[in-house]
Amino acid sequence: MRARVAPRPHVGHVNTRSPVLTCASNRSTNTTETESFDLLQSFFYGKALAEVLNERLGNMAADILAEFGTAEAELRKMLGDIQDEVAMRAEREIQESKGGVVAQKDRNGALLPPVVEEDEAVDNLRAEIASTRALIQQTRMQQNNKLK
């Protein structure tokens, strides 16, 4: 087999092609190498695409699940608050229907101070002050009696 050489460009002529040596037996080798390179290149592009998609979809799924978890926690808290408010109002109305003072409880079951009007609160404070003064006066009298 004889190799062919591309002709050299004349002076003043610009050749855009590089000289190519071709041989009948080399043609199949070059085609196989080119196909092999193209196949290898396609494989790596495909692998890179799969990795990028996997990362992006994984991050997106994690973000969606985090949003869902946050929304669920907020919903549970809101439902708990509604349940507490409903129970508190029902208890207050039950007590008011009986004519008693309402004993309210918070979420943990601790008693809250009763809801009273301002005038009633002032009267209650005055009564506590009066009873405290009486107790102090009684204590002073007992101490004076002990000293005598």
Kindly state the DSSP code that residue 120 receives in the 8-state scheme.
H
Per-residue pLDDT for 113 more than 80?
A: no
Show Cβ contacts of residue 102 under 8 Å, excluding neighbours closer than 6 positions: 91, 92, 95, 96, 114, 115
d(CA 135, CA 143): 12
Per-residue pLDDT for 148 more than 50?
A: yes
Q: Output the average pLDDT for the chain.
A: 78
pLDDT digits (tens, 9 = 90+) for 46-78: 999 999 999 999 999 999 999 999 999 999 999
Query: What's the confidence (pLDDT) of residue 46?
Result: 94
Per-residue pLDDT for 35 more than 90?
A: no
Query: What's the confidence (pLDDT) of residue 97?
Result: 82
Tally: H helices and E strands in the chain: 2, 4
